[in-house]
A and B are shown apart, each in its own frame.
Chain A
């Protein structure tokens, strides 16, 4: 099968997107700013059939800039209201590039998505969207509402300027595709291969196989063929599927395999989603599907949507790359502007104009002067509303003999908290530690469904890496605080760590290290409660809890009900 390199893949994505922005939407590309990305963008720009300039938009773009809005500066200088066109409108029929797309806010993503859909009766050329994911490890996920609408995934990480050779494309290529793609046919066997490959990779969205189908036809048109061959399918899948595979958690049924085509009736089987999951492994003879799956899963992957279970947190630094975004969030959502009393605060120009506008005619008449009349009583200041969210972080000891029980009760507590916390919009996460590592099993979430799916009762047994757990907890708590939330740590352990950060199995050294870490990283920084799950109270564990600055609770049975009750009381009283 034809496995193509990352540069060729990226170029093909560009060629196809420029040929049919209406069916493909665009590209999500992982790349660092630099000559490789610039080179690629230049080439894509040269494929654009409308030959218009690319519209570069920063990730920090605000929702107001995307839609048409009053241009305050120009309105004031000319004395009449002047609207500026929104970026979505400007982007119609052009290529829109968002750098650092992993940092965009949910509401901006939703507006971009509605621009791509040309919703609400906007009639103009289609936008070809390029989202540049600058994250180093691809761990930040792009809002699904946007990612779902972009057909292609490419990755330029690790490429150097002199790796960039291969097939050269020109504007003629997208032109040929646009002219002849509608005449390219694709047979049932090819569609079956695509549908089956997507299912095996756990991709539920129907949009994805539709993208593969169109991409395969586009590739055939590129080669001036009128039917799709196996190569087209293989390449199309490599352009569309990477990063979309959703690894199924172990607790769930294995990814559904496709069933025997002869016995399935569309109506019947679609109403019984469980049915197909039980039968049939991959028959031999569909080698192409297997090859596609291999090619796709071995490609460098950035994940969109649900993170993989047990994913490691970024180890390079805690405050990390999304700093700017975090600050913007931390200032809260704009609330209704307030009438200025003291003159302090930032003036909300739009609201001020709005307040002044009804009086203009009268004031102009009274003063005999044209132009804008603004009085002190019109002034409005900006207010931000800050919702103090709590982020409850469970740190659960999954080692030793009582591990299974502890995990099950912790899961119960998480679920109870989540089901009782809707209105508060609090988040809950869970770090489990055993063996030689601590990992985030459930990233901060308020979804009961996700908690159920991602927290498994699997206990690692083995050593008790309490020090690792503290470091992991600290990182997560810092990150949450940077997002403007109030972290709250909940420890469930007997406190008998026996392995140090460098992996030495030494109970005494580990104990000292844990005390130290607790005093420096946790105490006084993050509120915490410590549930001691040992059989009988041990003064050393008590001291450890003090080192963490935590409220100590002796709870040998670690029952989830009590845990959730105490946590609720604590976050409620702060």
Chain B
């Protein structure tokens, strides 16, 4: 991977995944993105591109918990000490993208006792894991459907609460772990349990374009990028900057965006008509639609935002009928048409 990320604006197609990632960037507590489908659709590229697009963060230098230097109230113990001494230094970094490979151990993910210091100096010190490294950024799990169930549970718990709690080996501590969880997988290699499916905020089915022209365009841009990353990034700089501005504004605007009773009612009707399980679907639908409204610079959630949000928020929450081969997304689209009108 080159140091320079592929410009987000230069990615061809993949609108649904772009939508899902943008909404998550605006509202990190949406609950994560699950992208299922073909290999080689450029999911990894897209996540790195998005992270590079987002505004830089102020991080305490050498802090293993990636503390936010601008929020004194949220500093970890060590950083609070530094802050009192007045020696707290901060650096500007792009949000991290951390890969969690299938073979990762629980120690590596959660963090564990620092053996070197424990054995050498008899000190019990926590050595942070991947969850801490992903704080304020993205945690990407390829083949999440093959990951051990208990690890997926840990990830989803941390993603939902924004905190990593550790109670093991004489350690008892917690640290902030606020990240956007992005899982991907190929359904042909195994499916995800419905209980886990439901806990992902939004779902996207990804596939590569099936027409030659789009494919040629993708190859062309990839070639230009691989040979001259700086030059290529420069030529897309203005578009990326405009998008960054939209995201920043949308983040600020989101808490102000309101959903009228009428909109809430439509949400409920939509979920009922699809028979989607539980309340999570409805909540995710409203949150996603709110994100889209904020992104569009609106103060109110509109029907158009619901329409755009529904496939993302609901298609993984439908009850499965083994004999119905209709794709979930098609079922959602049909219901959207019935309830919201076309």
Residues of chain A at the chain B interface (Cβ within 8 Å): 22-23, 63-64, 66-67, 70, 75, 80-81, 83, 106-111, 113-114, 117-121, 144-145, 148, 182, 186, 188, 191-192, 194-196, 198-199, 204-210, 213-214, 217, 256, 258-259, 261, 264-267, 269-271, 273-277, 306, 333, 353-355, 357-358, 360-362, 364, 372, 412, 415-416, 418-420, 422-423, 446-450, 452
Contacts A110-B102, A120-B98, A360-B118: A205 and B223 contacting too (C-beta < 8 A)? no
8 Å CB contacts to A: which residues of B211-232?
A: 211-220, 222-223, 226-228
Using Cβ atoms and an 8 Å threshold, which residues of chain B touch A355? 169
| Cβ–Cβ contact B102 & A107, under 8 A | yes
Interface 9-mer from B22-30, B39-47, B68-76, B279-287: B39-47
Using Cβ atoms and an 8 Å threshold, which residues of chain B touch A67? 108
| Cβ–Cβ contact B115 & A353, under 8 A | yes
What string of 1s and 0s marks CB contacts (under 8 Å) between B1-43 and chain A? 1100000000011110000000000000000000000111110
| Cβ–Cβ contact A81 & B119, under 8 A | yes
Using Cβ atoms and an 8 Å threshold, which residues of chain B touch A199? 210, 212, 215
| Cβ–Cβ contact B38 & A204, under 8 A | yes
| Cβ–Cβ contact B133 & A120, under 8 A | yes
Closest Cβ of chain B to A446, distance in Å, is: 5
B170 within 8 A of A: yes
Interface size range of chain B in the complex: 35 or more
Contacts A110-B102, A258-B211: A117 and B190 contacting too (C-beta < 8 A)? no
In Å, the complex CA distance between A372 and B122 comes to: 11
| Cβ–Cβ contact B120 & A81, under 8 A | yes
Contacts A191-B216, A205-B38, A422-B194: A357 and B115 contacting too (C-beta < 8 A)? yes
In Å, the complex CA distance between A121 and B137 comes to: 14
Ordered nearest first, which 9 A-B pairs have the shortest CB separation? A361-B122, A205-B40, A107-B103, A357-B118, A110-B102, A270-B13, A63-B103, A258-B212, A119-B99
Closest Cβ of chain B to A389, distance in Å, is: 12
Using Cβ atoms and an 8 Å threshold, which residues of chain A touch B13? 266-267, 270-271
Residues of chain B at the chain A interface (Cβ within 8 Å): 1-2, 12-15, 38-42, 44, 96, 98-99, 101-105, 108, 112-113, 115-116, 118-124, 130, 133, 142-143, 146, 148, 169-170, 186-195, 207-220, 222-223, 226-228, 320, 322-323, 325
| Cβ–Cβ contact A452 & B325, under 8 A | yes
Contact of B42 among A81, A108, A144, A206 (CB under 8 A): A206
Closest Cβ of chain A to B121, distance in Å, is: 7
Closest residue of B by beta carbon distance from A75: B119
- Which of A195, A264, A364, A419 is most buried by chain B, counting CB atoms within 10 A of its CB? A195
Contacts A206-B42, A266-B13, A358-B118: A145 and B223 contacting too (C-beta < 8 A)? no
Closest residue of B by beta carbon distance from A372: B119
In Å, the complex CA distance between A353 and B116 comes to: 11
Using Cβ atoms and an 8 Å threshold, which residues of chain B touch A63? 103-105
| Cβ–Cβ contact B188 & A450, under 8 A | yes
CB-defined A-B contacts under 8 Å, sample of 15: A63-B104, A80-B120, A83-B116, A107-B103, A121-B96, A182-B227, A209-B215, A259-B211, A270-B12, A353-B115, A354-B118, A422-B193, A423-B195, A447-B188, A447-B191
| Cβ–Cβ contact B210 & A277, under 8 A | yes
Closest Cβ of chain A to B152, distance in Å, is: 13
